[in-house]
């Protein structure tokens, strides 16, 4: 039996902070879960434009729910929280996702074309600056959201030093803060950027009671409001409930007694993975793709992979990509460093590599936890071919330099 190690470490991992000492960063050191206690503070009830009530804690005039900032408390109390009217109904693509995660932008709004300008405040610690840049690189590599350094854009993220790790949800307009303390870490930075592009916590989904149990008696006093469910009349639960979403809390989040606060109802969920992942799950990536388009395919959302909105993929020649591998046992992911979602059908790919080398080609499918080989081409040359009858799911190709170095051409028909 595994020991409950992460929690003890988590409880000790309290941020240095200002007044009452009730701010908590708990986690395994990779995924900090952070929030203000409502004890001794003003717990406000904010009405949303769709008739919901959200509980939040006022901190210096800003309404917070855990690590999410909703906006100026005074404005919210007076005018309520406006939710995006044009995002009411899930799109067909969102509904079609078989396994995905997180919640569609609610109080927040989508960033146009997925472009998110950012600026790094000079007050950031060197560690937080590195975490921010790593997280930005991660998002830019793995999703169609593109964080760009701000020049003169009016709406942007100001990544700044703070007591903990926090962010607004979605684009709220103007300079909006993302706070990163020195000890947030890269995973928390990825998580906060997830809020900034519009995602909320997985375990607040409206359907969460089918998947997890909340142990209210184990939650620190004043932290209960972090576990409120969010009704979905204006929010979207994209895809299936995803225990391994980077937007999911871990089992001991805000525990007062080392006992779990959230436990999965399914037996096969790994408690030491839930809420402790350091990367986005395939479900997270699919949810982002549903909203911001597929990586490498622009934002046309036509599903034809050719970025021209025609709906017709070019069936004749396939898509061509080039790459280079230096040294033996190096790998590339194709197409273009990205996985892709596939509706099902034949996937064909060829590799044409350097003459004096032995390159191999693998087709991998995401099984919910990891990438597994489903088709392999390992000839003694660098000419490889795969044709595979694929079920709907998430796929990527891996090019391996078994022996030698050089440039190759990868051709894909899907």
> Which C-beta is closer to Zn ion: that of 184 or that of 375?
184
Stretch that binds Zn ion, among 64-72, 307-315, 345-353, 382-390 (CB under 5 A): 64-72
At its nearest, how many Å lie between Zn ion and the CB of residue 41?
19
How far apart are alpha carbons 322 and 290 in whole angstroms? Answer: 27
At its nearest, how many Å lie between Zn ion and the CB of residue 68?
6
At its nearest, how many Å lie between Zn ion and the CB of residue 152?
30
> Which C-beta is closer to Zn ion: that of 25 or that of 412?
25
Angle subtended at Cα 389 by Cα 386 and Cα 393, rounded to the nearest 5 degrees:
105
> Which C-beta is closer to Zn ion: that of 281 or that of 338?
281
> Which C-beta is closer to Zn ion: that of 67 or that of 131?
67
Instruction: Determine whether 153 is an active site residue.
Output: no
What region, left, alpha or beta, does residue 161 occupy, with left being phi > 0 and alpha being psi -120 to 50 degrees? beta
Both tokens of 104, joined, read 């569609």
For residue 379, give the DSSP letter.
-
How far apart are alpha carbons 35 and 167 in whole angstroms? Answer: 11
200 contacts Zn ion (rule: CB under 5 A): no
Taking CB positions, which residue lies at the least distance from Zn ion?
67
Q: What are φ and ψ of residue 210, in 5° steps?
A: -80, -15
Total residues binding Zn ion (CB under 5 A): 1
Considering only 23, 67, 237, 294, the residue that binds Zn ion (CB under 5 A) is: 67
191 is annotated as contributing to ligand binding: yes
Residue with tokens 């990163």, as numbered in its chain: 180
Q: Are 237 and 206 in contact (CB under 8 A)?
A: yes
At its nearest, how many Å lie between Zn ion and the CB of residue 191?
5
Q: Are 386 and 348 in contact (CB under 8 A)?
A: yes
At its nearest, how many Å lie between Zn ion and the CB of residue 256?
20
Beta strands in 73-155 (DSSP E): 115-120, 146-149
Stretch that binds Zn ion, among 59-67, 174-182, 303-311, 337-345 (CB under 5 A): 59-67
Both tokens of 126, joined, read 């060197």
248 is annotated as contributing to ligand binding: no
64 is annotated as contributing to ligand binding: no
> Which C-beta is closer to Zn ion: that of 32 or that of 144?
32
Q: Are 211 and 248 in contact (CB under 8 A)?
A: no
How far apart are alpha carbons 91 and 114 in whole angstroms? Answer: 17
Q: Which amino acids are annotated catalytic?
A: 192
Q: Which positions lie near Zn ion, rule CB under 5 A?
A: 67
Binding-site residue set for Zn(2+): 191, 195, 201
Binding-site residue set: 191, 195, 201
């Amino acid at each position: 039996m595994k020991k409950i190690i992460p929690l003890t470490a988590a409880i000790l991992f309290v941020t240095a902070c200002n007044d009452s000492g009730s701010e908590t960063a708990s986690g395994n050191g990779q995924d900090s879960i952070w929030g203000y206690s409502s004890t001794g503070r003003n717990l406000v009830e904010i009405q949303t434009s769709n008739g919901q009530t959200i509980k939040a804690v006022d901190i210096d005039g800003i309404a917070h729910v855990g690590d999410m900032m909703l906006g100026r408390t005074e404005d919210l109390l007076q005018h309520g929280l406006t939710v995006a009217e044009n995002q009411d109904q899930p799109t067909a693509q969102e509904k079609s996702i078989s396994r995905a995660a997180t919640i569609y932008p609610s109080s927040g709004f989508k960033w146009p074309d997925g472009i998110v300008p950012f600026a790094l405040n000079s007050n950031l610690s060197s560690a937080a600056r590195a975490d921010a840049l790593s997280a930005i690189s991660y998002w830019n590599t793995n999703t169609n959201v593109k964080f760009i350094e701000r020049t003169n854009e009016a709406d942007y993220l100001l990544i700044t030093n703070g007591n903990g790790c926090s962010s607004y949800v979605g684009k709220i307009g103007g300079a909006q803060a993302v706070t990163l303390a020195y000890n947030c870490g890269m995973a928390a930075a990825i998580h906060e950027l997830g809020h900034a592009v519009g995602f909320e916590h997985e375990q607040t989904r409206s359907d969460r009671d089918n998947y997890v149990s909340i142990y209210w008696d184990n939650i620190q006093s004043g932290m209960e409001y972090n576990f409120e469910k969010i009704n979905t009349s204006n929010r979207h639960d994209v895809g299936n409930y995803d225990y391994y979403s980077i937007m999911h809390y871990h089992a001991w989040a805000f525990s007062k007694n080392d006992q779990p606060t959230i436990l999965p109802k399914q037996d096969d969920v790994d408690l030491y993975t839930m809420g402790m992942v350091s990367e986005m799950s395939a479900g997270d990536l699919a949810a982002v793709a549903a909203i911001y388009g597929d990586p490498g395919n622009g934002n046309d959302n036509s599903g034809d992979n050719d970025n021209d909105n025609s709906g017709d993929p070019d069936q004749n020649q396939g898509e061509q990509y080039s790459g280079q591998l230096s040294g033996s046992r190096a790998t590339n992911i194709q197409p273009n460093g990205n996985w892709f979602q596939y509706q099902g059908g034949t996937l064909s790919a060829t590799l044409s590599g350097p003459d004096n080398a032995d390159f191999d080609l693998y087709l991998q499918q995401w099984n919910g936890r990891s990438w597994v080989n489903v088709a392999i081409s390992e000839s003694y040359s660098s000419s490889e071919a795969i044709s595979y009858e694929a079920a709907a799911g998430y796929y990527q190709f891996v090019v391996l330099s078994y022996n030698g170095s050089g440039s190759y051409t990868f051709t894909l028909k899907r």
